[in-house]
Structure 1
């Protein structure tokens, strides 16, 4: 019984230490500016060569109808291709940019 009372006293002291009366920092009322979205400029490409690169590199891991069922901007495609690269797709940074540019031309994000 004494042990339970001792543990209870320690827990009570620990809890009270967390309740010290420190100063609260008021939340800022300043408006925070939203930074402009990141946009990357796609490289100039030869679409026939880019299509061949896309077909060769992307078909190593999945069917080609998988990526072509999506519609994205160049930024979206570049992010997707870099994600594939981080998953093990054998691509250089230049090849990733070319494939993203090709996909952005052939399968662009539909404007609403």
Structure 2
């Protein structure tokens, strides 16, 4: 699986550290970064997960009917596991097991939120 990674470093960069030999110019986004390399690159502050940017759409940019269908903004980290499962079911129609680890529930809900924003 490939992950989109954006590079915000001060000068062009070619990955020799992790062996991918992928190259970025300042501000470039590459959508072909293998997942195992992306995980390592995202540990560095110069890189960001470009998939997050897709979920950061301003509500004003959406047509009115889509604005009305968006789930309310919430602090997912403050929710209990049961609340996360209920939120996912109510807003995305996804049935989650509240017995899962909270981090897995958070990841699943965020993934659903990203699918909804596209």
TM-score between both structures, scaled by the size of structure 2: 0.24
* Higher normalized strand content (fraction of residues): 2
In terms of Rg, which structure is larger? Answer: 1
TM-score between both structures, scaled by the size of structure 1: 0.25
**Relative contact order (C-alpha < 8 Å, sep 6+): which is higher?**
1
